[in-house]
Amino acid sequence: MPNNNVFNPLSQPVYTSNTNTYISPGIVAPPENNAGSTGNLYNAGSTNSTTLGLLGGTVIATVQLANPAGSGKTLYVSRLSGGITVALNLLSSFSGSMSLSANGTLTSPTTLTSVNSNLSSSNTSVATVRFSATTPSGATPLMAMPLQAGPFLSNEFGRYVVPPGQAINLSVSGSLSVGGLLASTAYFAWWEV
């Protein structure tokens, strides 16, 4: 009996074939599909828009997704989205960034209402969602990246897990060197189990 390799070489990759697909079809879909149909997929976010003076400035939008201690559920981040909108009066130097961090404290936060993606569901989220026009203090950095003007979208498919008593923050920051209208937007989508 030959001792064949478990892992096939690049020229002969391992493949699978569904059999009897009429009786038990092989359907592969991300967890959000089931979470949405059962009424456990939620969205929340906000925009900070400011007209900057002659010397420019920075506009920040931070959304904090917090799972209260004792909630009995775990939050799974499905999607990060948002963007930076720029309307200039003069030529300007622009810079933008997005950062993801854990826990921390927001300055002067306002509470946001989460929206269930299943419009016929009466389920409400256990999460507390807050918005601030500043970055969180005392947060642990998870990721940072530069942004161009315009929208961004990052599908996470549950890559970031928020257990009870923890929080995750999405901060979007845009800066101009001269006057103009600048708007930063940050949104989370998540499901709960």
Asked if 177 and 54 count as a contact pair (C-beta separation under 8 A), the reply is no
Q: Considering the domain boundaries, does residue 104 fall inside one?
A: yes
Q: Considering the domain boundaries, does residue 77 fall inside one?
A: yes
State the residue range of the domain holding 38. Answer: 31-192
Q: How far apart are CA 132 and CA 109, in angstroms?
A: 5
Q: How far apart are CA 67 and CA 149, in angstroms?
A: 31
Q: Considering the domain boundaries, does residue 172 fall inside one?
A: yes
pLDDT digits over 48-102, tens only? 999 888 888 999 999 999 999 999 999 999 999 999 999 875 667 889 999 999 9
Q: In 19-68, which residue ranges form alpha helices assigned H by DSSP?
A: 31-37
Q: Considering the domain boundaries, does residue 45 fall inside one?
A: yes
Mean pLDDT of 156-162: 94
Q: Considering the domain boundaries, does residue 6 fall inside one?
A: no
**pTM of the full predicted structure?**
0.82
Count: domains in the chain: 1
pLDDT digits over 88-145, tens only? 756 678 899 999 999 999 999 999 999 999 999 999 999 999 999 999 999 999 999 9
Quote the DSSP letter at residue 47. Answer: E
